[in-house]
Amino acid sequence: MAKIIVTGGLGFIGSHTVVELQNAGHDVLVVDDLSNTTIEVFERIKSITNKDFEFYQLDLKKKDDVKSLFAKAGKVDGVIHFAAYKAVGQSVNSPLEYYENNLGSLVYLLQEMRDNKLDNLIFSSSCTVYGQAEDLPITEHSPVQSALSPYGNTKQVGEEIILDAIAAHNFNTISLRYFNPVGAHPSAKIGELPLGVPLNLVPYITQTAVGLREQLSVFGDTYDTHDGTCIRDYIHVVDVAKAHVIAVERLLAKANEDNYEVFNLGSGKGSTVLEVIHAFEKVSGKNLNYKIVERREGDVTAAFADTTKANETLGWKAEKSLDDAVADAWRWEQKIREEV
Ligand code: WQD
């Protein structure tokens, strides 16, 4: 049993990770600024696990808030750092706020971890660091390419900041590079809560199917893929959450082979946009209203993971399928619409 700080722990991946940490018997302390989620998620998590946990609403881009977090936390064994802004398009319009929030909070967090002699960190990174990889599937050795957005750059620079911090102090860090986390908890008590118009494919599909959106726009069908639409590696959010528990337990057990390890978190399977739509129609029994429109700036043609390293080194493998993910996302969408 360990005590883990989860920053951004009321967010999409964070909340699912809190559930899995509690299921594994760990104590959790969540900090979240509620800028991209709601306090209801706190009760929803507890309704799944029937376990309480500490929660503090703090803004980690304020140094004093980070200091007060550690003053309140007491003895802690590790940190899982999700807290960040993550909308690619928004980051293009507001780069300075993205650098201030995503990198400022990381620096303050690392300073407080250093000063409190806490060295176990799991960092939430992203496959966007690979850009359009030359070779597919993408391994952890695929070259990091210049970011296609300020958001993607905050993940790249975040990893570099951590590497420099490790060189000077004795942090032990695992960076998890997510491909496309989708779906929701099978209980339909937590899931993705996009505030405003969803930017990502799966929440846009479910909001269209439930009648909240008129029609899904498919951004281009002239890509060099078997059906002309982009390929991505959609991985169930519960599988992503379970990987975080395995990763933090690896550090707690001092089983890491290096003080900086990187793992791709994907299903290892690429699916096109049309395949996701058809999977949704199959599991929901709904005909989705969509149309093909022009391409979206910055989209890569294809990205999916080689998951060998996570499979062999972490002993982790995605267990849920794309059908499971879109079915759970649909159940969640219908549940929250009932509650509105
Ligand atoms: C997937 C595919 C779109 C919406 C982003 C971030 C990445 C990660 C996951 C945080 C693409 C197409 C989408 C729509 C569409 N987030 N699409 N119509 O861009 O692969 O990754 O989210 O880490 O960092 O970059 O995900 O869901 O936006 O798009 O046709 O309304 O669906 O063109 O091919 P993406 P996405």
pLDDT of residue 194: 81
The distance from CA 11 to its chain's CA centroid, rounded to whole angstroms, is 9
**Per-residue pLDDT averaged across 227-236, rounded?**
98
pLDDT of residue 195: 82
The region of weakest confidence among 8-12, 53-57, 273-277, 296-300 is 296-300
Mutating to test ligand 1, I would choose from 13, 85, 273 the residue with most ligand atoms within 8 A of its C-beta, which is 273
> Domain of 50: which CATH number?
3.40.50.720
Count of beta carbons in the 10 Å neighbourhood of residue 325: 29
| 193 inside domain | no
Sign, Cα dihedral of 124, 231, 211, 338: negative
For residue 173, how far is its CA from the centre of ligand 1 (angstroms)?
A: 27
| 159 inside domain | yes
pLDDT, one tens digit per residue, over 10-61 is 999 999 999 999 999 999 999 999 999 999 999 999 999 999 999 999 999 9
For residue 202, how far is its CA from the centre of ligand 1 (angstroms)?
A: 9
pLDDT at 340 over 80: no
Q: Give the domain extent around 158.
A: 3-183+235-265
| 160 inside domain | yes
**Per-residue pLDDT averaged across 278-282, rounded?**
98
| 241 inside domain | yes
Structure-token match 């169930």, residue found: 236
Structure tokens at 129: 């660091």
Ligand 1 pocket list (CB less than 6 A): 86, 88, 126, 128, 178, 180, 199-201, 204, 216-219, 230, 232, 273, 296, 299
Are 265 and 240 a contacting pair, CB within 8 Å?
yes
**Rounded alpha-carbon distances, angstroms, from residue 43 to 83, 125, 186, 244:** 19, 27, 17, 22
pLDDT at 74 over 90: yes
pLDDT of residue 148: 86
**Per-residue pLDDT averaged across 111-137, rounded?**
96
For residue 269, how far is its CA from the centre of ligand 1 (angstroms)?
A: 16
Question: Could you write out the DSSP letters of every residue in 149-196?
Answer: SHHHHHHHHHHHHHHHHHHHS--EEEEEEE-EEE---TTSSS----SS
151 flagged as catalytic: yes
| 271 inside domain | no
pLDDT of residue 95: 96
pLDDT, one tens digit per residue, over 149-190 is 999 999 999 999 999 999 999 899 999 999 999 999 999 999
Ligand 1: nearest atom to the Cα of 181: 9
| 287 inside domain | no
CA distance 293 to 24: 45
* Percentage of residues in the chain having pLDDT higher than 70: 100
| 36 inside domain | yes
| 119 inside domain | yes
pLDDT of residue 297: 85
pLDDT of residue 244: 98
For residue 300, how far is its CA from the centre of ligand 1 (angstroms)?
A: 10
Structure tokens at 339: 């509650």
Catalytic hit among 85, 108, 130, 151: 151
Are 14 and 32 a contacting pair, CB within 8 Å?
yes
The distance from CA 136 to its chain's CA centroid, rounded to whole angstroms, is 21
User: Which residue type occupies 115?
Assistant: D
Number of structural domains found in the chain: 1
CA distance 61 to 167: 23
